[in-house]
Structure 1
Amino acid sequence: MEAATERKMRVRAARLNGSGAGSNDGKGVKLRIFKECSHPDETRRRQIGEELGLDAKQVKFWFQNKKTQLRTKSERLDINALRLENERIQSENRIMSETLKTVACAPCGGRAMGPEERELYLQILKVENILLIKEVSEQYI
Structure 2
Amino acid sequence: MNPEDVANRDVTNEAFTGPGNCGRRHRRHSLHQIRSLETFFMDYEKPSESQCEKLSQELGMTTKQIKSWFRYKRTQIKAQQEKIENDQLKAENKRLKMENKMLREALANSFCAACQGFLFYSRGGARPLSYNIMLHENLRLRNECLRLQDLVNEKKGGRLG
TM-fit CA distance, 1:108:
1.2
Q: What TM-score does the superposition give when structure 1 sets the normalisation length?
A: 0.69
Of 25, 31, 47, the residue aligned with 1:10 is 25
CA distance in 2, matches of 1:67, 1:114: 53
| Structure 1 unaligned regions, length at least 5 | 15-19, 132-141
Runs of 4+ in 1 over 3 A off after TM superposition: none
Who is 1:113 aligned against? 120
CA distance in 2, matches of 1:69, 1:111: 56
Specify which structure has the higher proportion of strand: 2
Who is 1:53 aligned against? 60
Q: CA-to-partner distance for each residue in 1:59-118, whole Å, 9 max, x for gaps? A: 000000000000000000000000000000000001111111111112112010212474
| Structure 2 unaligned regions, length at least 5 | 1-20, 143-161
Who is 1:64 aligned against? 71
CA distance in 2, matches of 1:10, 1:25: 21
| Identity, % of aligned positions | 28
Of 74, 94, 104, the residue aligned with 1:97 is 104
* Contact 2:108-2:120 at 8 Å conserved across structures: no
* Greater Cα shift, 62-71 or 44-53: 44-53
Query: Aligned pair in 2 of structure 1 residues 88, 26: CA closer, same or farther (>3 Å)?
Result: same
Question: Match of 1:38, SS?
Answer: coil
**Over the residues paired in the alignment, what is the CA RMSD in angstroms?**
2.6
CA distance in 2, matches of 1:99, 1:30: 57
Specify which structure has the higher proportion of helix: 1
Aligned length: 112
Q: What TM-score does the superposition give when structure 2 sets the normalisation length?
A: 0.61
